Structure 1
Amino acid sequence: MAYNNQSFLNRVLFIIFFIFSFHVKADYLLWESESNEIACDVQSSTVWVDQDGIKNCVQYFISNKNTNTAIIQFYGDRDISAKKNINEIKNNTYHDQLNIVKNKSDVFNMTYIVIARLGTYGSSGSYKNKRELIEFETISYAIDEIKNKYEFENIVLVGHSGGATVGAALLTLGREDIQCAVLSSGTYNYMPREVNRIMSRQKDYDFSKIPTTMRERYDPIFHTENIYYDENRKVFIVGNEKDKNTPFNLQVSFAWKLISEGHNNTYVITADAEPPTYHNIFNINKYISLCF
């Protein structure tokens, strides 16, 4: 009995520790944190994903509007931010992220949600798992839980760069609730992109060796046959021809593959973008509005 009492006390102290730690850190969101169900339960706006061997705490930020269709946004890769201290990362507090979704919700007068990718902005897991199947399946399971909690039916996906790849991957996982997708400057067809990047470094490389990341990553362009057919769903591939990060021709090839497989409401939009990389698209809200 004494052992059981001590075990219960340890559990209570553990919960108190986590509650206290989140307050003393000035609401900074954790990065690369370990998956822990107890810690996940005491945080705001989180989903514990435990399905098919996947265990992660997924952080999300949701506006206070309640509509039948929700816009769900995914941020791009955060390679630079992932190397910083959590207090040095831009918009890395719960309050900052709530302001972002509230402002977006006011623009579209709809439920607006940002779901943090693995290892970023409060979601547990490793950021190194970006663009792997575990990231995409975890997010998909989290969306199901969020839908059940807030009782909306359809979703509009919005993603930029690596976030656009998340949106594309969710399409290939066969989701039937995607009403529209706005995917800007997305990464598709990883292999030719990686070969071009290696060649641009002007260093000797044994091209018979495939980089480890290429073996582990899930590339949506090779799974388009699993996309649920919906004649009313729209997909907008938004990019700039001068994009130096995610080549425009690979974005177009993804769109063409969707069209060739019968997803005829797929459109390629050439948009203005910020120099000198021409990767960050100006006025993305304009293209989100095309969904409605």
Structure 2
Amino acid sequence: MHQILYPKGFNKVLMKGVMWGMAGALFTPAASHAQFGRAEFSDAGDFSESAIMRGVTATQAQCAAAANTAWAATASSGAECIKYWKAGFGDQPVKRAIVFFHGDIFVGVSKTSQTYLDLSNARLQKNAEDWARWLGMPYIFVGRPGTHGSSGNHMQRRRIDESVIISAALDEIKKRHGIEEWVIAGQSGGGHVTSALITQRADIICAIPTSAPSSPRIRWEMMGRTKDTTNSADSYEPWKFVTKEKVNPKLRVFVLGNPNDKNVFWASQTVMADALQKAQIPVQVLHGEGTGPDAHGLSNSSRIVAGWCARDLGTEEMVARAGKGLKG
């Protein structure tokens, strides 16, 4: 049996269910609650299924008055108030930080996980503190638009606006904390965000798209569909926009997934690795044992690999460590 390389104390917390909403299976939405209008933004955050389905609206003033927020204003994709939780930061600017993007929260009407419904700012802050301690690096957890109290519409995920808005939020967070370099990782739908940001930013030195539908189209076509499970046919295809000229010269990408993933098919994940290799951008494909009924969940492994890369472990060493076993 392979040795699983988890931080000290990790399994104990895992049993308590810290993986709230992060396995991130991708499911088809039911009828939208848009007719009821978006939920109103609050500092405490609305972790209800209704808010996920309706979307959340915020003003810049509301955003500025709340804690752990970044007003993400864009020229093409509107503006949203993005919530985030950080740990491992001091009074001085931080050169490098890890940021993690969670998987999809909506998995069907009345199917939102109880761990997500029970969330609070305090629990998310404690989770960020735990990961910063385990990884030994400044760490940030970002609520994707329309989730975890962030304003926006989660039902529009995997379209270009989602990653553009998140990128604008990273710009604000970067200025606020003096960050120079990002290490980004994301599970499932958050892995799609990770792949998308590779095509949009030049300050990323490590990226770990995990269980990631880097081609939503390949995934939906393999499902026998004519559009994404969000019912949109214009999902962003990051692999088509990879260019060496746009990325940081130090960028290393580790495409992490389970070849037996029954939710996000392997071909829709590895297409990103193929595109990066063609563009002569350093990339490695890592295998992990995904958890859950679809063998899909690798959110914890995603952050562990991000920690290795953030600490400048060599690529060969990272591949060797991954080969000893990554699970969940």
Q: How many residues get paired?
A: 261
Q: Which residue of 2 aligns with 1:125?
A: 152
Task: Give the drift of 1:213.
Answer: 4.0
Q: Return the alpha-carbon distance in structure 2 between the equivalents of residues 70 and 102 of structure 1.
A: 13
Pair 1:219 & 2:237 matched: yes
- Higher Cα Rg: structure 1 or 2? 1
Give me the CA root mean square deviation: 2.8
5+ residue gaps, structure 1, are 1-17, 200-206
* Equivalent residue letter for 2:149: G
Contact in 1 for aligned 2:181/2:203 (Cα 8 Å): yes
Pair 1:179 & 2:205 matched: yes
Quick one: structure 1 residues 82 and 180, their matched pair in 2 at CA, closer, same or farther if it must change by over 3 Å? Answer: farther
> What is the TM-score normalised by the length of structure 1?
0.80
Identity %: 25
Quick one: structure 1 residues 261 and 36, their matched pair in 2 at CA, closer, same or farther if it must change by over 3 Å? Answer: same
Contact in 2 for aligned 1:190/1:214 (Cα 8 Å): no
Match of 2:180 among 153, 157, 160: 153
Aligned counterparts, 1:1-292, within 5 A: 22=43, 28-29=46-47, 31=51, 32-52=55-75, 54-66=78-90, 67-80=94-107, 89-90=116-117, 92-173=119-200, 175-198=201-224, 213-225=231-243, 228-263=246-281, 265-281=282-298, 283-291=301-309, 292=311
Task: Identify the structure with the greater helix proportion.
Answer: 1
Contact in 2 for aligned 1:82/1:120 (Cα 8 Å): no
Give deviations 1:162-186, integer Å, cap 9, x for gaps: 101101101111x111010111100
5+ residue gaps, structure 2, are 1-39, 312-328
Contact in 2 for aligned 1:28/1:94 (Cα 8 Å): no
Q: Return the alpha-carbon distance in structure 1 between the equivalents of residues 207 and 69 of structure 2.
A: 24
> What is the TM-score normalised by the length of structure 2?
0.72
Q: Return the alpha-carbon distance in structure 2 between the equivalents of residues 29 and 86 of structure 1.
A: 11
Q: Which residue of 1 aligns with 2:20?
A: none
Q: Return the alpha-carbon distance in structure 2 between the equivalents of residues 80 and 211 of structure 1.
A: 11
Contact in 1 for aligned 2:101/2:186 (Cα 8 Å): yes
What secondary structure does 2:99 align onto? strand
